[in-house]
Structure 1
Amino acid sequence: MRLTPSPAPSANTRLIAAMPWVFVLIWSTGFIVARFGMPHSPPLSFLAWRYALSVLAFGIWVSVSGANWPQGRAQWGHLAVTGLLMQAGYLGGVWSAVKLGMGAGTIALLVGLQPVLTALWLASRSAAGPARSPGAARRQWLGLGLGLLGLFLVVRHKLGAGELHAANLALALLALAGITVGTLYQKAHVAACDVRSAGLVQMGAAFLVTLPLALLEPEVMDWGWPLVASMAWSVGVLTLGGSSLLYLLIQRGAATQVTSLMYLVPPCTALMAALLFGEPLSADMLAGMVLTALGVALVVRQP
């Protein structure tokens, strides 16, 4: 009997399969950019410029490509809400908390609770928990637990005494709420539309909210090469690349599977910091990275 070989995966299939891992690598550079840029700018002023330049970039992209606009005023409103939550709320909280003395490891740990909050919310909405079958539900809860344990092992050495206070803790919780609620809101209310025009609406809404607050900051931006490089990377890679990939991933995948990828961001950030800044990698950090990767694999594995 002659066997017909299976067709090789298409380039489009390989691209879709690589999207989550490219997203993790891009998103992990956010704290590295903060390391370069934050000493030279107040947080909200930096973000206001980032949003404005992102609107310009998305506008050019939409015009050149002829991308379709969202259909109906309701979709524009839903996209604006996700922009306020996932851009202004999340990024504003993270950058402001770091500016007020919270370490990158600490903020990563707090924001890394997002997969657990998402799973708890979905479990409260469905008797089956974060999956459709009991067996898959147990596997995903195990993965979430392993991911949280691994995340703690990665960043626990950065939890310094006296680092937390009421102001930066409140800002970190604002960031956590923004990215968690924004992900769930987009999955529930935003219909499929072109990522380019969707990004323009989201960044425009974030800019309109952030600009008035940025004008109240007394510190002046120092436009040297570290700030220019940080801004270019933030707009060109983090916004056009990372935010667009996050939008597509939420459209394509289950909310628990998408948010579980956030577990991989702190370990990747720790590796980048070790390579770029010489920060040490301890044995518990390496063990935590292994547990985190295993936990994410259990959550995102398809039946």
Structure 2
Amino acid sequence: MENQHSQAWLRAMPVVFVLIWSTGFIVARYGMPNSPPFTFLLWRYIFSILCFVLWVKWARVPWPQGRVQWLHLAVTGVLMHAGYLGGVWAAVKVGMGAGLTALIVGLQPVLTAIWLSARGGHVSRRQWQGLALGFVGLAMVVSRKLDGGIEVTPWSLTMIIMALVSITTGTLHQKRFVKPCDVRTANAVQLMAAYVVTLPIALMETEPALWNAEMTWALAWSVLALTLGGSSLFYILIQRGAAAAVTSLMYLVPPTTAVMAWVLFNEPITLVTLAGIAVTAVGVSLVVRPPKITA
């Protein structure tokens, strides 16, 4: 019975991850107007580190062994937290539309597959078709937000490209170099590295943070759900699965966010959006579906 529960949880992990990760844009809508991006992220890292350290102490789990392991975890933390989150939040803060942001970051599965192919990794024809189909669906989902009002500046474009490169490189680095270890201690080390990099940038921001109800709610959800939940699940999925299959789940985030925005903020969903959601789901299924075993 216990084994059945474990298998059921493993199958549910991708779904839970997509649902949690999709709330990131919802949180940004609440938190962004009340704080400069790197200040918000700095507080997110501080409270997340505190939660993980207390969790580690309570559970008495061992910390990663060896300086090399700590170094690799620090590199992934800088890339996947400071680089990715900092780039996305900074781009949105200076006016880049959420649709364009999601579309550019949505290139991650394609970049991952290209890198794997260049390194001799196996990406099947079916998976390439799924990646292409997923990106087409993603473009359909965010197309209603790709209008002439989007402000694209050299700074915002640099930030969002930094986010794309950071999350892609961080995922590949973790899959290749980080040895299996407890997800709580691994996340704590990653967040400590992200904090060190983010601190000097946050100190240069002149806009004060407004500690109102929206800011508090956004920060609490960012720590408890997105970092302790979403980042931990992403870490586990990378350790357990193929990089191309895991990153293809990112295609499902914008469609899920669109549904959440419709429910929470009454943002309209068009027929093109619904069609895009369906196309994206088919594309991801082609990537993550295990190959047929022939006799």
Q: TM-score, normalised by structure 1?
A: 0.94
Q: Which residue of 2 aligns with 1:70?
A: 64
The reply on whether 1:205 has 2:193 as its aligned counterpart is: yes
Picking from 140, 160, 177, the partner of 1:153 is 140
Q: Distance in 1 between matches of 2:98 and 2:57?
A: 37
Match status 1:113 vs 2:101: no
Which of residues 267, 273, 280 in structure 1 aligns to 2:255? 267
1:60 counterpart (54, 59, 68): 54
SS in structure 1 at match of 2:192: helix
Seen in structure 2, the aligned counterparts of structure 1 residues 193 and 161 have a Cα distance that, compared at 3 Å, is same
Cα distance between partner residues in 2 of 1:109 and 1:283: 19
Match of residue 91 from structure 1: 85
> What's the CA shift string for 1:74-102, capped at 9, x where partnerless?
00000000000000000000000010001
Aligned mates of 2:221, 2:149 — CA distance in 1: 32
Where do residues 29-40 of structure 1 align in structure 2 (5 Å cutoff)? 29-40=23-34
Matches of 2:32 and 2:2, distance apart in 1: 46
Give the SS at the match of 2:269: coil
Q: Please list the CA deviations of residues 141-193 of structure 1 after superposition, one character each: whole Å capped at 9, or x if unmatched.
A: 11001101000000011012252121111111010011000000000100000
Corresponding residue for 2:22? 28
Counterparts of 1:75 and 1:110 in 2: how far apart (Å)? 31
- Which structure has the larger Rg over C-alpha atoms? 1
- Distance, in Å, in 2 between the alignment partners of 1:17 and 1:148 is 24
CA separation in 2, counterparts of 1:113 and 1:11? 34
1:92 & 1:8 partners in 2: Cα distance?
Answer: 40
Q: Distance in 2 between matches of 1:168 and 1:176?
A: 12
The residue type paired with residue 130 of structure 2 is G
Q: Secondary structure at the match of 1:191?
A: coil
3-state SS of 2:147 partner: coil
> In the alignment, which residue of structure 2 is the partner of 1:227?
215
CA distance in 2, matches of 1:171, 1:119: 22
Please tell me the residue identity of whatever aligns with 2:48.
S
For residue 50 of structure 1, what is the amino acid of its counterpart? Answer: R
Shift of 1:215: 0.6
Match of 2:42 in 1: 48
When normalised by structure 2's length, the TM-score is 0.96
Instruction: Choose which of 271, 279, 285 in structure 2 pairs with 1:291.
Output: 279
One-letter amino acid of the structure 2 residue matched with residue 255 of structure 1: A
Structure 1 unaligned segments of length 5 or more: list them. Answer: 1-6, 131-136
Which residue of structure 2 aligns with residue 166 of structure 1?
Answer: 154
Residue in structure 1 matched with residue 246 of structure 2 by the alignment: 258
Matches of 1:121 and 1:252, distance apart in 2: 19
Q: Distance in 1 between matches of 2:287 and 2:163?
A: 23
Equivalences for residues 115-194 of structure 1 within 5 A: 115-126=109-120, 129-130=122-123, 137-163=124-150, 164-194=152-182
